[in-house]
Amino acid sequence: MQAHDLLQGWIAYTSDRSGTFDIWLYRPQDSFSFQLTQGLGAAFSVPYWSPDSRRIAFTGIGNVVYLLDIGTLAVSRIDQIEPYTLLDWSPDSRFLAYVKNGQIVIYDTFSHRSYAIPMAGASDVQWFPSGTELLFAAPDTNGNTQLFRIRIDGADRRQITQNTDGPLHDVRLSPDGAFALYTFPGASISIISTVDLTNGTIRTLEGGPLAKNYFPIWSPDSLSIAYSATAYKEPNYYSLVQIDNRIGQKQRTLAVSDCFAAPVSWSPDGGKIAYLSGCAGIEQASQIWIVDIREPKPVKVLSGGRITALQWSPRVRRVSFIH
């Protein structure tokens, strides 16, 4: 296959449409879909794109972290971690950061060497755009989850929040490194808040009607947040695909999914959102839909098998793809 223009990006998704869970690619421009892995995925696998869109990291079968080269389809195994652990690429697409056994691990995907920063209870570690600092969540001395920042050499740890509202989940750093979002306090009630990392100001988004807001994700320009808001109409739960700005003043509903909660992902230009639907009363989705935020008319683009996760690639100019 010749080189393809990826200005609109690809959508990587996790599906068992071939019989086992694997990572697949879908190209919105022409509806081309392609299976990337063979028997390596799991229902909990989430594909994490490198910033240059050349590789995908995911945790798959056996709880193994795999690196997948999009151009050659070569796969390497790098570690074994807990399912659902966030994997985050450094801005230069070289290093992965994640948490394992009470440590922050920095893994060099070029040299295949790693080092660890001891950090009991840490979660959701992510790179600041500078590439020299990390954001993460961890309990303070009173056991309350706080956000911290630390240099990648383990020095200069600073506490950002003064949270007393219980556990923080789904911590996500904005692409510009100026804000973070998180959900609290748990799964049955899940509220989204943002924190301005320069001054610590916290704002809470209105969210959906049942205070069950899941899968929050920043827009590429760091100004908006998309998420899934669970709603109920006799006899079924469903979810609203919503967006809001980072200070919670411009909530809009763009689409409806028939799933209790629907993972969402922004297009590289921030103009569209892909989301999962097709649950039809069962737990897992079977469809990918795309909605344009400027003209919300949702379109079903893919159907078949169970689909558990999706992530739209960052914008890149061109990448070779060998098949």
The residue extents of the domains of the chain are 4-319
pLDDT tens for the chain, 323 residues long, are 334 445 689 999 999 999 999 999 999 888 889 999 999 999 999 999 999 999 999 999 999 999 999 999 999 999 999 999 999 999 999 999 999 999 999 999 999 999 999 999 999 999 999 999 999 999 999 999 999 999 999 999 999 999 998 899 999 999 999 999 999 998 889 999 999 999 999 999 999 999 999 999 999 999 999 999 999 998 889 999 999 999 988 999 999 999 999 999 999 999 999 999 999 767 789 999 999 999 989 999 999 899 999 999 997 545 444 44
Query: What's 212's DSSP letter?
Result: B
Element (H, E) at 190: strand 190-196
pLDDT at residue 186, as a whole number:
86
* Residue of 60, 70, 75, 66 whose CA lies nearest to 21: 60
pLDDT at residue 318, as a whole number:
52
pLDDT at residue 4, as a whole number:
45
Query: What's 63's DSSP letter?
Result: G
CATH number of this structure's domain 4-319: 2.120.10.30
pLDDT at residue 249, as a whole number:
86
Alpha-carbon separation of residue 257 from 31, 200, 205, 226, 273 (angstroms): 21, 34, 20, 14, 13
Question: In degrees to the nearest 10, what's the CA dihedral of 30, 69, 51, 300?
Answer: 30
End-to-end CA distance of the chain: 6
Give the position of tokens 């050499």.
Answer: 153
* Residue of 220, 103, 124, 138 whose CA lies nearest to 170: 124
